[in-house]
Each structure stands twice: as structure tokens, then as C-alpha cells.
Amino acid sequence: MRVAVAVEGAPDQAVAKRLCETLGHEAGPIHPCRGKGDLDSRLPGFNAAAQFGPWLVLRDLDNDADCPAMLARSLLPKPSSRMRFRIVVRGIEAWLLGDPEAFADYFSVGERLIARNPEELASPKAEILKLLTNSRSREIREDMLPREGSGAKVGPAFPSRLAHFASSAWRIHHAARACPSLARCLARLQAI
């Protein structure tokens, strides 16, 4: 089954594609948005399109509400029957950290340093940046960490490296054991 996808950015796009493929679906077309504000404003249109075919929309919870269900109801009170609007707790980076063995191997960091409950982290992205400062790979540190004095929050290849990890090394079912919102997303997507 072909599932249309809307996401906040590049790593989310790779995650959504892997989710669909894992369940035997084809992801596409994919609508990358310019952050959650852009996604939120386009959500009614995506929901209208879901009347004609299945959709998966991933949106980070961040600190926008106390719980995912509350945020989902406030942003999309009446989802179409073929809409799978899923809130990622707290950010897509938490889902990627949910597979600590693969994450540690790919990014050359110590597995024991990775939080076992990534959805409880206040900022999974900040946690990844902290982990990367200890990466044994100079190339990863240079690509993914912000350059001193640049004013950037992340390095130039941060999104693309996370996207490559998501599409090549991340094990979804391992991560779903550590990330309840991912497990719920898989269940809802499977039921489409």
C-alpha cells in the first residue's frame, strides 16, 4: 500500500520511510515541511487528502503539551479515517536513541552512555549532541557538532547523518521496546 507522508525535516523523512517499509508499505509522496509550525499549518490539508488515501504525519511533541494525545487532539480534533497523525515523544531523535546498540556502533560512542528511556529525555537532540562530543570518530564530530563561533545549534551534516542512520542501521523493533510512542505508531500504521 502506498502511504503519503508529511514530516518536519530530513531525519523524520527517513524514519517515516523506514516505518512504512517495515510494515510492507511504500512511502510516498513525501511532504517535508520546514519545521513543526509549517507542518501544523498544513495539517488540515493533509487531513483532507487522507479522505482519498492513507497518510502518515509525524510531529515532535517537544514541550508543546503535557502528553501526545492532548497535542494531537488540539492540532487535529477530527482526523480522517485514513489519517495516521502520530506525535513523537519528545522528538524523532528519541526514537533513534531507542536502539542504543546500533546508535553506539554507527556513531562510535559508548553504548553505556545512551539513556535507556529516551522518551523521558527533556531534549533528545541535546542528548545526541552530548553523546557525539565523545565520539571516537573525528569525522562524525566535525560533521555533526556545531563549529565553534558559528552560532549554529548543530553541525552541517547533523540532519543528513541522522537520516542515513535511520535508513541504514536503525532497528525499529528494538527501538519500539524503549519508545512507547514508536510502538503505538507502528500499531496504528499497521492497522491502516
The answer on pLDDT for 192 being more than 90 is no
* Mean pLDDT of the 34-58 span: 97
* Three-class SS state of 154: coil
C-alpha pair distances (Å), 147 with each of 58, 59, 107, 152, 156: 29, 28, 18, 7, 9
- Strand duo 55-60 + 26-32: pairing: unpaired
> Per-domain residue ranges for the chain?
2-91+175-190, 94-168
The answer on pLDDT for 84 being more than 90 is yes
Note whether 83 and 46 are within 8 A (CB). Answer: yes
pLDDT digits (tens, 9 = 90+) for 102-112: 999 999 999 99
Give CA–CA dist 83/57, Å, rounded: 8
For 124, list phi and psi in degrees, rounded to 5. Answer: -60, -35
The answer on pLDDT for 171 being more than 90 is yes
Kindly state the cell numbers that stand for 76: 487535529
pTM to 2 decimals?
Answer: 0.96
Which of the four pLDDT bands, split at 50, 70 and 90, describes residue 51? very high
The answer on pLDDT for 10 being more than 90 is no
Second-level CATH architecture of 2-91+175-190: 3-Layer(aba) Sandwich (3.40)
pLDDT digits (tens, 9 = 90+) for 126-167: 999 999 999 999 999 999 999 988 999 999 999 999 999 999
